[in-house]
Amino acid sequence: MPSSGGPDAVIDNPAEHRFEAGANGGRGRLMYRREGQRLVLAHTVVPEALRSQGQGGRLVAAAVEAAVAGSLIVVPECSFAYSWLQEHPEVEGRVKIEWPVISPERSSNLLPEQQPWPEH
């Protein structure tokens, strides 16, 4: 799903199974796969030069918009997407989210209060 042009534009590249954004500073990517009516958000990569500028969030938001348009269920396997969706609970009013269990090894982007298991 393309957004309006410009450096913040996010495009869906279905041939590569990813959403992409960015230009001169590098391209951020959110890799996904389709499993029936599920849009599985697998991995987010944002170049160092573009971090903390909201590009990762724009990628996840574009995936949510695509899921809404296609009546798909969002499955955030990527820890960044998982965290972003937790920080934006209003999204669940627009699209169904299937929350996977994320193991400690895959949760490096989650803050302690967002981790789905108790601290030891």
d(CA 70, CA 73): 9
Report the CATH architecture of 10-107: 3-Layer(aba) Sandwich (3.40)
The per-residue pLDDT for range 43-85, each reduced to its tens digit, is: 999 888 778 888 899 999 999 999 999 999 999 999 999 999 9
* pLDDT of 2 higher than 60: no
Residue spans of the domains in the chain: they are 10-107
User: Does pTM surpass 0.85?
Assistant: no
User: Is 116 exposed, middle or buried, given 0-12, 13-18 or 19+ CB atoms closer than 10 A?
Assistant: middle
- Cβ-based neighbour number of residue 86 at 10 Å: 18
